[in-house]
Structure 1
Amino acid sequence: MTGRIMTRDAGAVSIRAFEHAVRLGHPYLGGEHYLLARAARDVHRRPGRFSPRRCSGATRGDGVFLPHGPGVNQALVAARREAAARHAAQADVGHLALGILAAGEGLVPTILSRLGTSGPALGTAILDRYPSAS
């Protein structure tokens, strides 16, 4: 994939995840912040500068930098793989969600376990229900 690696909507989720991390005072951008961003139904396109850094973290337009927490790089790589497997030029929100669920590190697996599910089980259920949604 060349150019932008995510669609505008997936980028909006990343911005919201970053905002959740900053609001919570966390020193990193983690998968749990992406889950919060997806759970909050107010994700929409907003103007703003946000620059994901390849394999290291993210910087907001005002210079605030947060390194990626455990599992985030793994999730972003998995999202790109999901997109490529479906012949998409960019990872969309569905690919991003599947990538986050596939991550084996960080807080996401623990959160899902406490909810009585796992990333792979939830990802499979999503693909079974919405095979073309990603």
Structure 2
Amino acid sequence: MSLLSAMALAGLIAGVAPSVLAHSYKLGDLSIGHIWAPPPVEGADGLPVYGPFLNNGNESITLVGASSPLAERVTFRSDEDEAKELTEGIEITPGQPYAMAPWRPHIWVVGLKEPLEEGDSLELTLDFGGAGQKTVEVEIEEDGSH
């Protein structure tokens, strides 16, 4: 499967149109697709962040943490309903697209230091442990497919 096909598949899993792949990033063997978040909901305790990954290497890569200058802290959640905070990170296995989505582990931004609305963006540094770090722009948009 080509990289573009795999990223498109991962994007479709997350509900992202293939056209947003222009907002993608590379970190060694890891491809990072369009990263987005819905507009913040008043009274919510955080902001979910979604998007696809594809590990083109031979060994698993784990997203072990993330940070943002606009947030008090960034964690992981298992799903939107349970609101269970995860500590082990998100494993991205070789050759298997992984899409952060509401029903599976995703990033959770806590304590926004300024208001965000649709059309804004949020800088987020993703920490993949020994694989390195990558700073991405999280687009604030209603459905991730603009």
TM-score (ref. length: structure 2) = 0.26
Between Structure 1 and Structure 2, the one with more helix by share is: 1
